């Protein structure tokens, strides 16, 4: 019986290969799979141990990348090892070598895919605020573009390895890309505008901005539109390309306010009262903790009043703080002007009549008489 089994293993052939060779191929495949899994598990545990000891981010990234190893691809690689043991015809050997490249390329692509995601996430976490960059347009576009480029290169490399002429394929992709770009150029304009917003950062989520006649707080910056919550409560949706093409005033980044205001006194003020007014205004502003006095001048002789101009700096970006300071300054100036017995001017015009025609004077002096019938 043993001799018959031995003769079966060595004499008979399945697809031109003896059963003994098939059994040897299966054993080689199983052994290579077990060895590969054991080796990967050993390396993975060592890297995790180093990461747990606080040896930097490289160990963490390496462990995450290694965890992307596909068991399916590892099994396919083990099967190819077993097939390599067999005495295959020449045409099958070429196909096995091509499959080797496909399996290796797919596995490298999975590792690179995970590494790109981790690297980009780390980069945007370090170079941006947490709230802004968790779902920023730049992070989304960068990761999407890197993935598309990676898998496109891998796909073209696999097609080239299996004997496909990719020159015409790449040319057709280029023509199709141009046609698609022309068809969606408006959308692409908004997408690239969102990329510009993410890179240049003229504003971020939470900033209060003014764009033309629109004003509000930025709620969301998307790939195509930016959403602003206006002071009235309604939501304003604006295309990113229009945002980039407009002048944007960002009040969230305002560090201090330079305030210029004017007031006017009547012409019956004396020169000493004018000097006292400028000194009083300077003292009033200097008493404010959040204000820095710049200047106060008797600026000009107006058409109906003496005009004063005052400049000071509010050392706080809040609009409410500025209004509180301005209100206290205005009330104090009113008290100071009253103490100096001066008067605020209001718009007025005095007309001096040099001469009046004599006939007009005579007519104005004659009594009016009524006729009775």
Cα–Cα distance measured from residue 237 to residue 233, given in angstroms and rounded to the nearest whole number: 13
Model confidence pLDDT, tens digit, residues 92-142:
666 777 777 888 888 888 888 888 887 777 766 665 544 444 445 566 667
Asked if residue 160 and residue 242 are part of one domain, the reply reads yes
Of 87, 72, 85, the closest CA to residue 36 belongs to 72
Asked if residue 220 and residue 323 are part of one domain, the reply reads no
Of 251, 243, 248, the closest CA to residue 137 belongs to 243
| pLDDT at residue 240 greater than cutoff 80 | yes
Residue 332 maps to which CATH number?
3.30.70.100
Task: Tell me if 145 is assigned to some domain.
Answer: yes
Asked if residue 274 and residue 201 are part of one domain, the reply reads no
> Do the Cβ atoms of 19 and 9 come closer than 8 Å?
yes
Asked if residue 132 and residue 101 are part of one domain, the reply reads no
> Residue 230's beta-bridge partner residues?
216
In the numeric block, the tokens 């505008």 are attached to 193
> Do the Cβ atoms of 188 and 141 come closer than 8 Å?
no
- CA 356, 358, 359, 363 torsion-angle sign: positive
Model confidence pLDDT, tens digit, residues 273-302:
999 999 999 999 999 999 999 999 999 998
Q: 5 falls in which pLDDT band (50, 70, 90)? A: very low
Asked if residue 212 and residue 97 are part of one domain, the reply reads no
Q: 369 falls in which pLDDT band (50, 70, 90)? A: very low
Of 163, 33, 32, 153, the closest CA to residue 98 belongs to 163
> Residue 262's beta-bridge partner residues?
309
In the numeric block, the tokens 């209004």 are attached to 323
Domain region containing 323 = 257-339
Q: What is the mean pLDDT of residues 79-94?
A: 68
Model confidence pLDDT, tens digit, residues 315-365:
888 888 999 999 999 999 999 999 999 999 987 766 767 766 666 555 555
DSSP 267: T
Task: Tell me if 348 is assigned to some domain.
Answer: no
Helices vs strands, H then E, count in the chain: 13, 8
Q: What is the pLDDT of residue 333?
A: 95
| pLDDT at residue 76 greater than cutoff 60 | yes
> Do the Cβ atoms of 312 and 253 come closer than 8 Å?
no
Angle between helices 19-52 and 71-85 (to 10 degrees): 140
Q: How far is CA 99 from CA 23, 104, 156, in A?
A: 21, 8, 15
Last residue of a domain, one of 126, 160, 193: 126
Cα–Cα distance measured from residue 148 to residue 150, given in angstroms and rounded to the nearest whole number: 6
Cα–Cα distance measured from residue 38 to residue 32, given in angstroms and rounded to the nearest whole number: 10
Task: Tell me if 358 is assigned to some domain.
Answer: no
Model confidence, pTM = 0.47
Model confidence pLDDT, tens digit, residues 159-192:
777 776 767 666 666 666 666 665 556 666 777 7
Chain centroid, CA 2 distance in Å: 76
Asked if residue 266 and residue 170 are part of one domain, the reply reads no
């Amino acid at each position: 019986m043993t001799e018959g089994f031995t003769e079966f293993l060595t004499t008979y052939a399945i697809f031109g290969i003896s059963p003994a060779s098939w059994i040897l191929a299966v054993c080689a495949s199983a052994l290579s799979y077990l060895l590969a899994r054991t080796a990967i598990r050993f390396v993975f545990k060592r890297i995790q141990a180093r990461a747990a000891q606080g040896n930097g981010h490289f160990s963490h990234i390496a462990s995450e990348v290694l965890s992307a190893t596909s068991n399916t691809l590892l099994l396919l690689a083990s099967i190819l090892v077993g097939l390599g043991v067999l005495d295959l015809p020449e045409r099958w050997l070429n196909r096995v070598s091509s499959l080797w490249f496909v399996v290796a390329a797919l596995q490298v692509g999975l590792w690179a895919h995970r590494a790109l995601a981790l690297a980009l996430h780390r980069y945007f976490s370090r170079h941006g605020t947490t709230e802004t960059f968790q779902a920023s347009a730049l992070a989304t576009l960068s990761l999407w573009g890197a993935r598309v480029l990676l898998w496109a290169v891998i796909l073209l490399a696999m097609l080239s390895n299996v004997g496909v002429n990719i020159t015409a394929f790449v040319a057709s992709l280029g023509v199709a890309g141009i046609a698609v770009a022309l068809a969606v150029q408006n959308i692409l304009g908004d997408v690239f505008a969102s990329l510009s917003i993410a890179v240049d950062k003229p504003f971020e989520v939470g900033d209060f901005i003014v764009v033309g006649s629109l004003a509000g707080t930025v709620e969301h910056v998307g790939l195509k539109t930016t959403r602003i919550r206006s002071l009235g409560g309604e939501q304003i949706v604006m295309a990113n390309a229009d945002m980039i093409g407009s002048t944007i005033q960002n009040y969230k980044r305002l560090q201090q306010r330079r305030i210029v205001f004017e007031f006017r006194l009547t012409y019956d003020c004396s020169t000493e009262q004018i000097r006292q007014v400028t000194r009083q205004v300077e003292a009033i502003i200097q008493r404010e903790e959040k204000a820095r006095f710049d200047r106060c001048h008797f600026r000009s002789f107006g058409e109906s009043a003496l005009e004063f101009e005052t400049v000071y700096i509010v050392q706080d970006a809040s609009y409410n703080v500025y209004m509180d300071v301005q209100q206290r300054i205005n009330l104090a100036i009113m008290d100071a002007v009253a103490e100096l017995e001066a008067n605020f001017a209001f718009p007025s015009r005095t007309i001096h009549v040099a001469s009046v025609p004599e006939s007009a004077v005579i007519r104005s002096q004659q009594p009016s008489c009524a006729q009775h019938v």
